Amino acid sequence: MRAMLDFDLATPEAPPKASVEAAVRLLESGFLFRYAEMGSEGNEAALLEEEFATLLGAKYCIAVNSGGSAIFLALKAAGIGPEDKVLLNAFTLAPVPGAIEHLGAKAVLVEINTRLVIDPDDLRKKAEASGAKYLLMSHMRGHVADMDAVAAICEELGIVMIEDCAHTMGATWNGVQTGRFGLAGAFSSQSYKQFNTGEGGLIITDDADLAARAILMSGSYMLYPQHSAAPPEAVFARWKGRAANHSMRMSALVAAILRPQLPLLTARNARWRQMHDRIARRLRSHQLIRLPERPGAENYTPTSLQFFIEGLSTAQIEAVIADSAAHGVPIKFFGGHSPQGFTSRAPHWEYLAPQALPRSEAILAKLCDIRLPLALTDAEADTLATVVTDSLNEVLP
């Protein structure tokens, strides 16, 4: 009898009891908006910003309504405007190039390598050819590039880097936290990330002007003094009246749900890594499966698992995916002709100018992805791996 996984892989990690209790207290108070016209003691969003800045070792933090908003505001507060060229690795999620489009800027896509991260050689090539002075570095699916090489190129060519860290909360490269290599880092607390608030975003930076502009643009009105992980008044004075209000602030309710989850980050990431590595060991034993390399410098935080299916046609891979789904393991496929769910790649972003990415397209043509819910037990993780390998065996000649 074929193995069957009886667990919904789309199950997010529920917020802890402390989050529920904090949310109830706030709901009963009625003060769900993050700002108060009279007094701001106990401001949940301001407290979250302090605590998150401390957690990541940053001077400033701005809490906003989504990870996509965090990317957009970080880019805009860095000075990016219409027609500016922004370098971006070709493997990412649609809201990332969407943030560039939102600014009216122009995305310059950079090839990836078989580690699923930006190719430093192509980064240099595209930067020099385009003249782009900004890089949106997306740590897609928790894969961290050689950030020493990337940072060196940016310094040499005068490129400002903003990091999309939606999938790397707590990940490091050579001991440095993602989000700390560039001018700013953007994080997400959407339900399938390390923290679950449904939607939510956070920007960290040590740059006072970027922080002040992001706070004003997030929608603080003139209540920005209610931010405590923020620059002094003199910095805001430079930008008041010049920064548009985009109404992207985080609500007090989201902050209240998020704050009790901060201390759980290390344990959650340890469990995700253990689960990922357990399944990866099982999958590597199959002759048609190859997994991306994980260098020793990368301390990864995998909320999902990626693998390549080699030696099969697209139709055969899709047959494997259908069989696996029928046995309880839905697999996302980046090589499909049309986008599905959250899964898309550059040719699907028709609002961008067409760009040749032969290496990235060849890599993504075989790439599969499986979500890893924290509640998955070791036994269920083993069943998951068995379902995938059994499905592959079903289509073998």
Same domain, yes or no: 299 and 279: yes
What CATH number is given to the structural domain containing 276? 3.90.1150.10
Mean pLDDT over 13-38 rounds to 93
Tell me what percent of the residues of the chain surpass a pLDDT of 90: 95
| Range name among 77-91, 301-315, 339-353, 360-374 with the lowest pLDDT average | 339-353
Query: What are the residues whose beta carbons fall under 8 Å from the beta carbon of 221, sequence distance 6 or more?
Result: 35, 245
Q: Are residues 209 and 311 in the same domain?
A: no
What integer is the mean pLDDT of 222-246?
96
Segment 103-110 shows an average pLDDT of 98
β-bridge mates for residue 85, sequence order: 106
Same domain (yes/no): 217, 337: no
Which residues is 118 bridged to in the sheet?
112
Q: In terms of domains, do 256 and 271 share one?
A: no
Q: Which two tokens stand for residue 104?
A: 């009216």
Residues 295, 239 share a domain: no
pLDDT of residue 274: 98
> Which of 236, 261, 286 is where one domain is finished?
261
Residue 397 clears pLDDT 80, i.e. is over it: no
Q: Average of pLDDT values for 27-44?
A: 82
Residue-level pLDDT at 339: 83
Q: Is the pLDDT of residue 337 over 70?
A: yes
**What domain range includes position 246?**
17-261
Contact 320, 391 (CB under 8 A): yes
The reply to whether 153 falls in a domain is: yes
CATH of the domain at 199: 3.40.640.10
Would residue 11 count as lying in a domain?
no
- Same domain as 304, residue 352: yes
**Do both 189 and 58 map to the same domain?**
yes
pLDDT value of position 39: 57
- For 275-330, the pLDDT digits (tens) are 999 999 999 999 999 999 999 999 999 999 999 999 999 999 999 999 999 999 99
Q: Is residue 130 domain-resident?
A: yes
pLDDT at 193: 95
Can you tell me the distance from the alpha carbon of 395 to that of 112, in angstroms, rounded to the nearest whole number? Answer: 29
Long-range interactions of 112-115: CB distance < 8 A, separation 24+: 112/359, 112/360, 112/363, 113/359, 113/363, 114/292, 114/293, 114/363, 115/143, 115/145, 115/292, 115/293, 115/295
In this prediction, residue 42 carries a pLDDT of: 65
- Residues 195 and 55: beta-carbon distance below 8 Å: no
Q: Verify that 273 and 185 share a domain, yes or no.
A: no
Residue 128 lies in a domain: yes
Please identify, among 244, 261, 278, the residue that sits at the C-terminal boundary of a domain.
261
Q: Are residues 39 and 144 in the same domain?
A: yes
SS (H, E, C) 287-300: CCEECCCCCCCEEC
Question: How many structural domains is the chain composed of?
Answer: 2
Tokens of 231: 């620059």
Give the number of other CB atoms < 10 A from CB of residue 33: 13
Residues forming beta bridges with residue 269, ordered by sequence position? none
Domain end (from 209, 227, 261): 261
Regarding whether 221 and 338 lie in a shared domain, the answer is: no
Residue 232, domain member (yes or no): yes
The pLDDT of residue 252 is 96
Position 230 in a domain: yes
Per-residue pLDDT tens over the stretch 51-68? 999 999 999 999 999 999
Q: Is residue 1 part of a domain?
A: no
Q: Both 111 and 173 in a single domain?
A: yes
Task: Give the model's confidence band at 37: pLDDT under 50 very low, under 70 low, under 90 confident, else very high.
Answer: confident
The whole model's pTM is what?
A: 0.96
Q: Does any domain span residue 8?
A: no
What letter represents residue 19's amino acid? Answer: S
Tell which phi-psi region holds residue 389, choosing left (phi > 0), alpha (psi between -120 and 50) or beta: alpha
Q: What is the mean pLDDT of the chain?
A: 96
Do 240 and 151 lie in one domain? The reply is yes
Pairing of strands 134-138, 160-164: parallel
Average pLDDT over residues 84-97: 97
CB 352 within 8 A of CB 383: no
Does 231 score more than 60 pLDDT? yes
